[in-house]
Amino acid sequence: MKFAKFTLVASILCLGLTACDSMKIWRAEKPEPCPRVTVLKNAAELTKFKEGPGRDLIDVLFEAKVTNVLSQCYYDVDYDTRAGAITAQVAPVIAAKRGPADQSRSAELSYFIAVIDDNKKVLQKSTFPMKLAFPGNLTQNEVRDEPVDLTIVTNGATDGSNYEIYIGFQLSREEMAYNHRQTQR
């Protein structure tokens, strides 16, 4: 009886180990690298003022900030030559705070997403409009925008680690100067 139990346990263990070993066929050796995603520090925040010369606290329509970026990537390459396409999907999370000058209960802004190669060459850049609402008595809101698909063509000599994705607000010169003054304080 003891021998039969031992044989049964040994058989189950061998079957389990064989199943684990066969699972290695389905697992990749290591995941493919995705492009690094960076929120540009000098374009991560936006303060929008009402029309006119005033730039005091009472003139602020809204303040916004890129708080996070959700991202993932997929490879569609020939695994012998490594040539093909890398698709990166990014979705920024933007928080906004309503200012004293706001009467519309909404914030309209634009952000950009750019793909950069190892040589800091801009391969593609797109700007996306976004509207955040402040319904009811909300004075703050945070929204994750729809995911954006970016396709990077590779000849096989590069992979995702050779690219970087920059995200930030599309700022005017005046808004950039304001951000610069704020960091100097």
Would you give per-residue pLDDT tens digits along the chain (185 residues)? Answer: 554 554 545 555 555 545 554 444 444 456 799 999 999 999 999 999 999 988 889 999 999 999 999 999 999 999 899 999 999 999 999 999 999 999 999 999 999 999 999 999 999 999 999 999 999 989 999 999 999 999 999 999 999 999 999 999 999 999 999 999 988 87
Does 54 reside within a domain? yes
Does 9 reside within a domain? no
Q: Which residue has the tokens 């793909």?
A: 115
Does 20 reside within a domain? no
Does 19 reside within a domain? no
Report yes or no: 113 and 128 within 8 Å, Cβ to Cβ: yes
Among the listed residues 184, 183, 166, 174, the one whose alpha carbon sits nearest the alpha carbon of residue 59: 174
Report yes or no: 65 and 45 within 8 Å, Cβ to Cβ: yes
Encoded amino acid at 72, one letter: Q
Does 5 reside within a domain? no
| CATH code of the domain containing 134 | 2.60.40
Write the CA distances from 175 to 32, 45, 101, 168, integer angstroms. Answer: 38, 9, 17, 13
What does the pLDDT read at residue 12?
54
Q: Which residue has the tokens 């590779």?
A: 154
Does 81 reside within a domain? yes
What does the pLDDT read at residue 162?
97
pTM: 0.80
What does the pLDDT read at residue 30?
67
Does 168 reside within a domain? yes
**Token pair of 107, please?**
């914030």
